[in-house]
Amino acid sequence: MSHASGYGGERVLIDPSVVRGLEYYTGPVFEAELLAEIPNDEGQIVRFGSVGGGGRYDGLVSRFRGEPIPATGFSIGVSRLMTALKNLGKLDTSDILAPVVVLVLDRDTDSLGRYQTMVSALRQAGIRAELYLGGAGMKAQMKYADRRGAPCVVIQGGDERAKGEVQIKDLIEGARLSAEITDNAAWREGRPAQETVAEDRLVETVQKILAAQAQERGRGK
């Protein structure tokens, strides 16, 4: 999975010496560390260390619910992480687009790996992207993408995968066009703002959609 996401052994490491929360963790534990050379407020290079941690806890929730509920959790040291990002000059949030959301229609290991590869390819091209992590169906995932303000979503089910294709739905243009289409048949026939392209054209097509949206925003100013 780590390789499918674009993170090899240099970024994801299994370390049996990491220990935390022995009173409630029951399985693997996780630690996220910043290894970059980051200056503090005085300009001195410091090591920020851990900015997040968590693990598997099968018995913790049952203490409150009275029933066995396996779970995995992770918390982020927001203050430390924000300080590090600020000192690296990466905290400017002006004019940041919401992420492209890759939907999860199949949950077998191979499919999840392919979805993660898509997210990684988009991120490597400088496009904010995320993988839907819940267990809901496509309708709920589309609602989630709308709530996130996603500019578009990436869809790949079994049929698309067999053909080596993905569907990319422009949510901004889709919402605009849907307001103009009052006839149900026209809606079904038009499939507004949705393209089916070869998998290797994913990044190129998303870039094109984002550029068109940016141009439209520019006209509206």
As a whole number of angstroms, the distance between CA 182 and CA 20 comes to 58
Q: Return the number of other C-beta atoms located less than 10 Å from residue 96's C-beta.
A: 8
CB-CB contact of 96 with 65 (8 Å): no
- Residues 104 and 10 reside in one and the same domain: no
Q: Please indicate, yes or no, whether residues 112 and 85 belong to a single structural domain of this protein.
A: no
Mean pLDDT taken over the chain: 86
Q: How far is CA 123 from the centre of its chain?
A: 9
pLDDT grade, residue 37 (50/70/90)? confident
Question: Which pLDDT band, with edges at 50, 70 and 90, does 187 fall under?
Answer: very low
- Strand 152-155 and strand 100-102: the pairing is parallel
Would the pLDDT of 190 be above 60? no
The count of structural domains within the chain is: 2
One domain, residues 72 and 122: no
Residues 143 and 48 in one domain: no
- Report pTM: 0.62
Look at residues 69, 90, 111 and tell me which one is the last residue of a structural domain.
90
Residues 64 and 129 in one domain: no
Residue 99 near residue 130 (C-beta atoms within 8 A): yes
Mean pLDDT of 90-114: 86
Assess whether 106 and 78 both reside in one domain.
no
Element (H, E) at 85: helix 78-87
What range defines the domain where residue 199 resides? 100-220
Residue 76 counted as domain residue: yes
